[in-house]
Amino acid sequence: MGSRVLSLRVDSELLERIRQHAAKRGMSVQDYVVRTLIRDDFDERFKTSVDETERFYEAPPL
């Protein structure tokens, strides 16, 4: 998988909070943001899978 550049304009207070969170984990800001996005994407895909599975196994109306 290749990589691309994504440029964001972020409020200075938010960037400082992100820096602090990244530092607590011994990560760079870039790594922290990427991992957060990956985790969020996984959570969305997992929830969608669970919802689809629940719909699949719902009992048909009587």
Question: For position 30, what pLDDT does the model report?
Answer: 93
Q: Are 60 and 49 in contact (CB under 8 A)?
A: no
Task: Report DSSP letters for 4-55, one per residue.
Answer: --------HHHHHHHHHHHHHTT--HHHHHHHHHHHHHHHHHHHHHHHHHHH
Which candidate, 37, 43, 24, 1, places its Cα nearest to that of 16?
Answer: 24
* pLDDT 10s digits, 23-53: 999 999 999 999 998 888 888 888 888 888 8
58: DSSP letter:
S
Indicate the pTM of the whole model: 0.66
